Amino acid sequence: MSEPLLLEIRDGGAHVTFNRPDVRNAITREMLAALADFLSAIEGDCRVRYLVFRGTGEHFAAGGDVTGFRETLAQPPGERRRAYERRLMANADPFLLLSRVSVPVITVTRGAVAGAGLLFALAADICIAADDSFFVFSHARLGLPLDLGLSWYLPRVVGWRQARALTLLSARCDAAQALALGIVGEVLPGADVDTRVEQVQKIFRNGPREAFRLSKRLLDRSLDTTLPEQLEGEARAVGEAVAHPDFVEGVSAFLENRKPRFAE
């Protein structure tokens, strides 16, 4: 039996592949636990300069494994409530860890993106979608609200009003609509996606890791700080950057009219 989650460190990056194509890569609790362990392990690993999420087969990830909900339907409401609250809090770790990943995060989508799968598109720094991708906000159809941080990411990506409309209408967006909303950054024919992903990986593999880390940190904090606080944070970040060898190499390469060779 194949592994439901493929976890690799290769080619300068960490690669996560949802590998249950027979069920549209539905995500289980066990997969989330393994992902949390992997994200903890790669943070600070000098071999990892970027992180990529993909799905095997024709779909990215169709969210949680709803078939597993059946066993809870016979529970008394109070017991079921407590069980789901515990389950959600237990499943939160990979999404908290993902929000703290210091290297650039790339998500590559094809086909269905729903439920928990939406988080990996919304939390990514770069989301590249094949033109057959579609994004489904179907929680309400199951009598559920948003979960696992979706209510935090969605308004930040698409805006407050659009987030409400997508959620309350159980909307389905095709790739072009997702691009217009900002859910994805690029839409390409399926045959061109892998080439584009490799181009992006190369940028991060050869780029200034410290500058990427500092810029991500500044942008993450920007929505919760005042302008004076942000200016002070930028000054401190620049101070960190100029003390790093990447700054010396970047400036030297510019002055010498050559491509920079940043530290491994």
User: 57: alpha, beta or left, given left = phi > 0 and alpha = psi -120 to 50?
Assistant: left
Strand 134-136, strand 186-188: pairing: unpaired
The band of 64, judged by pLDDT with boundaries at 50, 70 and 90, is confident
Q: Provide the percentage of residues in the chain whose pLDDT is more than 90.
A: 88
214 and 114 co-located in one domain: no
* 28 strand-pairing partners: none
List CB contacts of 244: < 8 A, sequence separation 6 or more: 210
Residue 69 has pLDDT above 90, yes or no: no
CA distances from 104 to 75, 94, 115, 217, 248 (A): 42, 16, 23, 11, 22
Let me know the angle formed at the C-alpha of 203 by 249 and 63, rounded to the nearest 5 degrees.
140
pTM of the model: 0.94
The band of 245, judged by pLDDT with boundaries at 50, 70 and 90, is very high
| Of the residues 163, 178, 204, the one at which a domain ends | 204
Which residue type sits at 249?
E
The residue-averaged pLDDT of 31-47 equals 94
CATH number, domain containing residue 231:
1.10.12
**C-alpha span between 178 and 133 (Å, rounded):** 9
CATH number, domain containing residue 43:
3.90.226.10
- Count Cβ atoms below 10 Å from residue 28 Cβ, excluding itself: 17
Domain containing 162 equals: 5-204
CA dihedral in degrees (218, 200, 100, 92; nearest 10)? 140
For residue 122, give the H/E element and its range: helix 116-122
90 and 172 co-located in one domain: yes
231 and 161 co-located in one domain: no
Name the domain count of the chain. 2
Residue matched to tokens 């499943």: 91
Residue 77 lies in a domain: yes
The band of 1, judged by pLDDT with boundaries at 50, 70 and 90, is low
Residue 246 lies in a domain: yes
96 and 192 co-located in one domain: yes
The residue-averaged pLDDT of 207-220 equals 95
37 and 96 co-located in one domain: yes
Could you give the strand order of the β-sheet that contains 13-18, starting from the edge strand earlier in sequence? 5-10, 13-18, 51-55, 105-109, 126-130, 186-188
Q: Identify the residue with better confidence: 65 or 5.
A: 5
Q: Identify the residue with better confidence: 163 or 90.
A: 163
Residue 219 lies in a domain: yes
89 closest CA partner among 5, 29, 15: 29
245 and 200 co-located in one domain: no
Residue 238 has pLDDT above 90, yes or no: yes
User: How does pLDDT run across 153-212, given as a tens digit for each residue?
Assistant: 999 999 999 999 999 999 999 999 999 999 999 999 999 999 999 999 999 999 999 999
Residue 262 lies in a domain: no
Looking at residue 44, its pLDDT comes to: 84
Contact predicate 208/217, CB 8 Å:
no
116 and 233 co-located in one domain: no
Residue 127 has pLDDT above 70, yes or no: yes
Residue 263 lies in a domain: no
Residue 263 has pLDDT above 90, yes or no: no
